[in-house]
């Protein structure tokens, strides 16, 4: 697709469920996708920070109602789990935001809407896991709240590539999301850099 008409003003980069032990049944096809996903998201998060685009970690609390984001991160980093390297690559920086969610959608039972309003965000750049579940449900709820949507095709993963591709198609067709690659988004962010390289 052409990206020439996409404006990144008032955008936020949303990293969904990337701080995750990835230790669950059916992860066999997902795990081989994780190294490339991690590198893509690390590049996007670093470029977003330089472009002063807010980086928001939207993370499941995995049913641990007494946990917090730092504890979830510590559990991933300190234990020998499949998601350890992804958590290491994507450890948040001090100016990043994080919101814990109890269910699939990042809007359900969370302060995400309040945070986005406070930051004057009009467009969400969605990335993360799983494209066909938490990314899709968050995209749906964002669309109903009249946010513009962008989804990074190689910045999302699902248990299978077919499930990922089906979710991307739904978000594009039904939710009017612009689907872009990591490379395309990095190029778009270049114009917003405070100190271009």
- State the CB neighbour count (10 A cutoff) for residue 146: 7
For residue 141, pLDDT beyond 60: yes
Spans of all domains in the chain? 11-190
178-180 and 97-101 strand pairing: unpaired
For residue 193, pLDDT beyond 90: no
Domain 11-190 has CATH 3.40.1190.20: no
Q: Distance between CA 129 and CA 152 in Å, rounded? A: 12
- Report pLDDT digits (tens) over 62-112: 656 556 778 888 888 888 899 999 999 999 999 999 999 999 999 999 999
Q: Distance between CA 170 and CA 137 in Å, rounded? A: 11
Confidence of residue 195 (pLDDT cuts 50, 70, 90): low
Q: Give me the DSSP letters along 144-191.
A: HTT-EEEEEEEEEE-SSHHHHHHHHHHHHHHH-PEEE-HHHHHHHHHT
Q: Which helix (H) or strand (E) holds 14?
A: strand 11-16
Q: Distance between CA 25 and CA 10 in Å, rounded? A: 38
What pLDDT score was predicted for residue 192?
Answer: 84
- Report pLDDT digits (tens) over 157-189: 999 999 999 999 999 999 999 999 999 999 999
Q: Within its chain, how far is the Cα of 79 from the centroid?
A: 23
Q: Distance between CA 195 and CA 147 in Å, rounded? A: 28
- Strands of 25-182 (E only): list them: 55-60, 97-101, 123-129, 148-157, 178-180
């Amino acid at each position: 697709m052409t990206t020439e008409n996409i404006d990144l003003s008032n955008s936020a980069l949303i990293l969904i469920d990337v701080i995750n032990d990835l230790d669950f049944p059916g992860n066999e096809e997902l795990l081989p996708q994780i190294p490339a996903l991690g590198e893509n998201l690390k590049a996007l998060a670093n470029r977003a920070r330089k472009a002063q685009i807010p980086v928001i970690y939207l993370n499941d609390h995995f049913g641990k109602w007494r946990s917090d984001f730092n504890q979830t991160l510590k559990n991933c980093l300190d234990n020998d789990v499949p998601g350890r390297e992804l958590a290491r690559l994507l450890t948040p920086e001090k100016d990043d935001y994080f919101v814990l969610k109890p269910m699939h959608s990042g809007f359900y039972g969370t302060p995400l809407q309040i945070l986005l309003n406070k930051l004057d965000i009009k467009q969400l750049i969605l990335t993360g896991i799983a494209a066909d579940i938490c990314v899709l449900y968050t995209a749906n709820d964002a669309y109903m709240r009249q946010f513009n949507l962008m989804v990074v095709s190689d910045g999302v993963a699902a248990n299978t590539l077919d499930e990922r591709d089906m979710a991307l198609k739904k978000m594009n067709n039904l939710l009017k999301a612009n689907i872009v690659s990591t490379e395309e988004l990095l190029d778009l962010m270049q114009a917003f850099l405070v100190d271009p390289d």
